[in-house]
């Protein structure tokens, strides 16, 4: 009789957590009023939707490639296996958009053969390689999240994609069972005028410590290009160049993640922007079919909270691959949104929709 009782308790916990997510959704709706909002879209970026939906609190959250953008020491998450593995990450949506909207992706001077090669390359968005205590990850041609670049009015509108994208090579080394160090080197392209681009190299570093099996602490130092219109990942990711960031994640139950970050503790530049911002996020997995996410963060320039919400659909690592040893969740479709108000009281939604396949 004990197993059915335990099952009922698990179902009851899931029900209460779903009620919490429903309450958060209602709070976001009523807090931001009923006026027609502005909308911005991020549809070509492969990695942002899950962190965005969790309030950006992602410095100590287990993930594959996305974790390395917040803390290189968390590349591959908390997996303890040291067995050799190689994984590819595909986004079939990106090459389809490149074929449909070539003028938004390529310069007019780009040859047809070069366009075909680049379009094929857009299918592969990243890879990871693990060998013993080392893990290497590469992120390829990811869409920038600069606030100016994503100010689009159409879901699949892309503003000069290849002129505003970045690639990152990250390395993680596990020093002990509970300590890891990581570093990354990013190649960032940005366009200050249409069809003209420049590039910069930037390095980032991080460390993670797991004091208990269900708790992870992370610290990262991130550098990135600065533009006349703001930082490369200034909003909605809320990073400034030369920032020190700390985070913590807690797993009270299987399938539940509670995370909190403090962003931009120290800055080399932009000292008057986005200083010491708290970020909070939560994720609840439901039977490997649906992940509910929510969160909030403080916008220091507006002195108000911004709320986030989202979901993931179909964890292929469990449902399709049988949860191989050391595998992290791989949600095939992710949606995340930021709901905020500006100083004029105008409500705005920033939507992120991502498709990712891990093989």
Span 268-286, pLDDT tens digits: 555 556 678 999 999 998 8
Q: 73 pLDDT band (50/70/90 cuts)?
A: very high
Q: 22 pLDDT band (50/70/90 cuts)?
A: low
Residue 326 reports pLDDT greater than 90: no
Residue 260 reports pLDDT greater than 90: yes
Can you tell me whether residue 27 is helix, strand or coil? helix
pLDDT number for residue 83? 80
pLDDT number for residue 27? 55
Judged on CB neighbours under 10 Å (0-12, 13-18, 19+), 250 is middle
Residue 184 reports pLDDT greater than 90: yes
Strands 256-263 and 277-286: what pairing?
Answer: antiparallel
User: 52 — alpha (psi -120 to 50), left (phi > 0) or beta?
Assistant: alpha
Q: What is the mean pLDDT of the chain?
A: 80
Residues whose CB falls within 8 Å of the CB of residue 346, separated by 6 or more in sequence, listed in order: 35, 37, 38
DSSP designation for 74: G
Q: What is the pTM of this model?
A: 0.84
Instruction: State whether the Cα torsion 79-264-47-316 is positive or negative.
Output: positive
Q: Which two tokens stand for residue 119?
A: 């379009």
List Cα–Cα distances, 57 to 7, 134, 258, 279, 280, in angstroms: 31, 25, 9, 5, 5
Q: Which of 35-39, 86-90, 162-166, 345-349 has the highest mean pLDDT?
A: 86-90
List Cα–Cα distances, 52 to 58, 160, 166, 268, in angstroms: 9, 23, 18, 25
Residue 6 reports pLDDT greater than 60: no
Domain of 296 in residue numbering reads as 2-358
pLDDT number for residue 30? 47
For residue 230, the Cα-to-chain-centroid distance in whole angstroms is 20
Q: Which of 273, 303, 331, 314 is nearest to 66 (CA)?
A: 331
Strands 38-42 and 347-355: what pairing?
Answer: parallel
d(C-alpha 207, C-alpha 60), whole Å: 10
pLDDT number for residue 334? 93
pLDDT number for residue 34? 47
How many independent structural domains does the chain possess? 1
Tell which wins on pLDDT, 253 or 327.
253
Separation of first and last alpha carbons in the chain? 41
Q: Which H or E element spans position 115?
A: helix 112-121
Q: Which H or E element spans position 10?
A: helix 2-31
Tell which wins on pLDDT, 345 or 149.
345
Residue 319 reports pLDDT greater than 70: no
pLDDT number for residue 119? 76
Strand ranges in the chain using DSSP code E only, listed in sequence order: 38-42, 85-90, 124-131, 134-143, 165-176, 179-193, 196-212, 215-222, 226-227, 230-231, 243-250, 256-263, 277-286, 290-299, 304-315, 331-341, 347-355, 357-358
Mean pLDDT for the stretch of residues 197-209: 90
Tell which wins on pLDDT, 253 or 161.
253
Report pLDDT digits (tens) over 117-146: 777 778 888 999 998 889 999 998 888 887
d(C-alpha 169, C-alpha 128), whole Å: 10
Give 200's Cβ-side CA count (13 Å radius): 13
pLDDT number for residue 31? 52
Q: Which of 43-47, 62-66, 292-296 has the highest mean pLDDT?
A: 292-296
Residue 53 reports pLDDT greater than 60: yes
Mean pLDDT for the stretch of residues 104-108: 68
pLDDT number for residue 3? 43
pLDDT number for residue 5? 45
Mean pLDDT for the stretch of residues 305-313: 92
């Amino acid at each position: 009789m004990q197993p059915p009782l335990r099952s009922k308790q698990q179902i009851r916990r899931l029900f209460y957590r779903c009620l919490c997510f429903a309450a958060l959704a209602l709070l976001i709706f009523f807090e931001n009023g009923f006026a027609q909002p502005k909308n911005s879209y991020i549809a070509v970026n492969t990695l942002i939707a899950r962190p965005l939906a969790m309030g950006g609190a992602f410095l100590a959250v287990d993930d594959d490639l996305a974790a390395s953008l917040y803390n290189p020491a968390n590349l591959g998450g908390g997996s303890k296996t040291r067995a050799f593995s190689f994984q590819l990450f595909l986004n079939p949506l990106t090459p389809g958009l490149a074929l449909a909207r070539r003028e938004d992706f390529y310069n007019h001077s780009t040859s047809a053969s070069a366009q075909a090669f680049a379009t094929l390359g857009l299918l592969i968005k990243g890879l990871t390689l693990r060998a013993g205590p080392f893990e290497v990850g590469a992120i390829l041609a990811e869409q920038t999240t600069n606030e100016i670049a994503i100010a689009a009015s159409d879901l699949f509108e892309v503003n000069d994609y290849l002129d505003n994208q970045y690639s990152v090579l990250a390395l993680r080394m596990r020093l002990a069972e509970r300590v890891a160090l990581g570093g990354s080197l990013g190649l960032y392209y940005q366009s200050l005028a249409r069809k003209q681009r420049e590039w910069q190299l930037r390095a980032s570093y991080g460390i993670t410590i797991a004091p208990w099996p269900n708790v992870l602490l992370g610290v990262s130092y991130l550098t990135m290009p600065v533009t006349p219109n703001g930082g490369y990942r200034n909003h909605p990711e809320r990073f400034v160049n030369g920032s020190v960031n700390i985070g913590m994640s807690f797993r009270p139950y299987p399938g539940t993640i509670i995370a909190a970050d403090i962003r931009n503790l120290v800055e080399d530049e932009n000292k008057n922007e986005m200083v010491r911002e708290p970020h909070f996020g939560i994720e609840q997995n439901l039977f490997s079919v649906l992940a509910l996410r929510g969160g909030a963060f403080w916008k220091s320039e507006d002195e108000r909270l911004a709320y986030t919400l989202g979901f993931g659909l179909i964890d292929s690592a469990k449902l399709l691959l049988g949860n191989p040893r050391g595998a992290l969740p791989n949600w095939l479709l992710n949606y995340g949104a930021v709901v905020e108000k500006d100083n004029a009281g105008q409500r705005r939604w920033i939507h992120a929709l991502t498709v990712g396949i891990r093989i």
